[in-house]
Amino acid sequence: MDIAISTTGRHLLKALFAVLCLLLYAPLALIVVFSFNDADIPTELPEFPFKGLTLNAYREFIANPELTAALVTSAKVAAAASAAAVVLGLLASMALVRRRFFGKALASAFLLSPLVIPYVVFGIALLILFHEISFPLSMWTIVIGHTVIALPFTILILSPRLARIDVRLEEAAHDLGASGFRTFRSITLPLMTPAVVSAFLVAYVVSFDEVVIAQFVAGNTVTFPIYLFSQLRFPTNFPQVLAVAVVVMAASLLVVLAAEIGRRIVERRLHIELEGRADEAPPPTSAEPAAPQAERV
């Protein structure tokens, strides 16, 4: 007998899992389906039943300069913010993992604290700061805010990876006469590359998606979520917004999946090369990508 579950219970749980997954995916499926809906007059919300399938919404969205400009702005903001967050996260991780200093626990808690701050509060506090020092609101004020909230994510991804790199490799480089920076550039950074890439991508997604803080400190800048929001309130271009929502949804899923798979492949290869544990490492065709990691922990 399986002590964890009875046969009936197993079926019940399976059914519950299937139903809840269906409910979670239903809203997303709706957006995809209705982006192809052929409505005569663009209405505020999708009409039911369907009138037909069309790619009109997609054509219109590519031809809409405001929408594409908003996408480009968001891409720039996210690139700048995640680059800054990764650099700061690398510095913080190297201090937290490799060095000893007074007040480390406090520093670590402080660096992770943006994870729990309500974004409304942070957005407003930033707005007040920029107002007090008469700093003009622009794309860069959004970048500053997003760097703060993306930083904890980069630290949470980079630190565990750094902790798994054998410190003796760095010591060996140092003994062979490499300077601190040279050691970092030739040893630590190459080994960290997979984690740096996934930290960058996660920070990118966090920033690209963020709208509450952006809304307060954007000034006249229109990022993609801000544009989406304006279209929700005054829905003249609703079908286009659905279409672009589908494109962004697909792109972000692809990016996250690609990053995760890429990171696993590269890390596995690094482990085989560095630790000479090729015999212990699972075959690359393993059906469970997460299993080897869980075993190592």
Partner 1 sequence: MAVDARPVARSAPFLRGRRRSTATTAGLIGTPIVWLVVFFLVPVGIAALYSVGVFSFFPGEQRFTLTYWKDFVDGSVYLDVFWRSVKISLLTSVIAVLLAYPLAYYLALVAGSRKYVLLLILISPFFVSYFLRLFAMKVLLGDQGVVNSFAYWTGIRDPEHPIPQLIYSQFAVVTTLIVIYVPFVALPIFAALENLDRRLLEAASDLGASRWQAFRKVTLPLSLPGVLAAFVFVFIPTLGEYFTPLLVGGTSGHMFGNSIADAFLSSQDWQTGSMLSVFLLATVAILMAVFARFLSMQRLETE
Q: Which of residues 13-42 bind partner 1 (CB under 8 A)?
A: 13-14, 16-17, 20-21, 23-28, 30-31, 34
Q: How far apart are the C-alpha atoms of 222 and 50, rounded to whole Å?
A: 33
Residue 145: which of 78, 76, 70, 230 has the closest Cα? 78
| SS3 annotation, 139-157 | HHHHHHHHHHHHHHHHHHH
The CB-of-276 to partner 1 minimum distance in angstroms stands at 27
Q: How far apart are CA 40 and CA 7, in angstroms?
A: 52
Residue 134: phi and psi, rounded to 5, are: 50, 45
For residues 23-62, one letter each, b for 16 or more C-beta atoms within 10 angstroms of the residue's C-beta and e for the rest, the string is eeeeeeeeeeebbbbebeeeeeebeeeeeeeeebbbebbe
Q: Of the ranges 3-11, 52-60, 64-72, 161-169, which one interacts with partner 1 (CB under 8 A)?
A: 3-11
Determine the 3-state secondary structure of 271 from DSSP: helix
> What residues from 240 to 269 belong to the interface with partner 1 (CB under 8 A)?
245, 248-249, 252-253, 256
DSSP state letter for 234: S
Q: 214: closest CA among 152, 147, 145?
A: 145
Q: Give yes or no for residue 10 binding partner 1 (CB under 8 A).
A: yes
Which one of residues 42, 219, 262, 289 is an interface residue with partner 1 (CB under 8 A)?
Answer: 289
**Among the residue ranges 64-72, 147-155, 162-170, 275-283, the one whose residues contact partner 1 (CB under 8 A):** 147-155
Options 114, 138, 164, 178; binder of partner 1; rule CB under 8 A: 114
Interface region with partner 1, contact rule CB under 8 A, candidates 53-61, 124-132, 187-195, 274-282? 124-132
Name which of residues 159 to 198 contact partner 1 (CB under 8 A): 174, 180
Site string for partner 1, 74-103 (x = CB under 8 A): --------------xx-xx-xxx--x-x--
Binding residues with partner 1: total (CB under 8 A): 87
Kindly state the smallest distance separating residue 79's Cβ from partner 1, in Å. Answer: 17
